[in-house]
Amino acid sequence: MAGYEQLDVWQKSMGLVTEVYVLVKLLPKEETYALSDQMRRSAVSVPSNIAEGSSRNSKKEFVQFLYISLGSLCELETQLLISKNIGYIQDITSIQTKTLQIKKMLNALITSIKKSI
């Protein structure tokens, strides 16, 4: 398998991290160590686990790390909805579209790898 840097899902998730870092700057200062920190950590976890999993000894381990990435992505989606519901961020449509696309890509990669095990 090619290096993780060549994976479209890793590249897209790296772009998502950048977008989340820009977005959390819109949150109030009192959220610096709470919601915004959680959002950054969730976003960073997605490409990080793809990278870590790709270096593991087996495809089964890689799949496990992809599931962790998927979980982190779902955490981020929840945190975005909380931010919107509280009124911190008005429009999350663009970033929701990206998270959905990455979620589909992760699921497709998991399915593909599981078929080859």
Average pLDDT, rounded, for the chain: 95
Range 66-90 average pLDDT = 96
**CA–CA separation, 47 and 6 (whole Å):** 12
Please name the fold of domain 4-115: de novo design (two linked rop proteins) (1.20.1440)
**In this predicted structure, what is the pLDDT of residue 2?**
58
Residue 106: pLDDT above 90? yes
Is residue 38's pLDDT more than 70? Answer: yes
Enumerate the domain spans of the chain. Answer: 4-115
Round to whole Å and give the CA distance between 45 and 73: 8
Residue 32 has a pLDDT of 82
- Given a cut of 60, whether residue 5 has pLDDT beyond it is yes
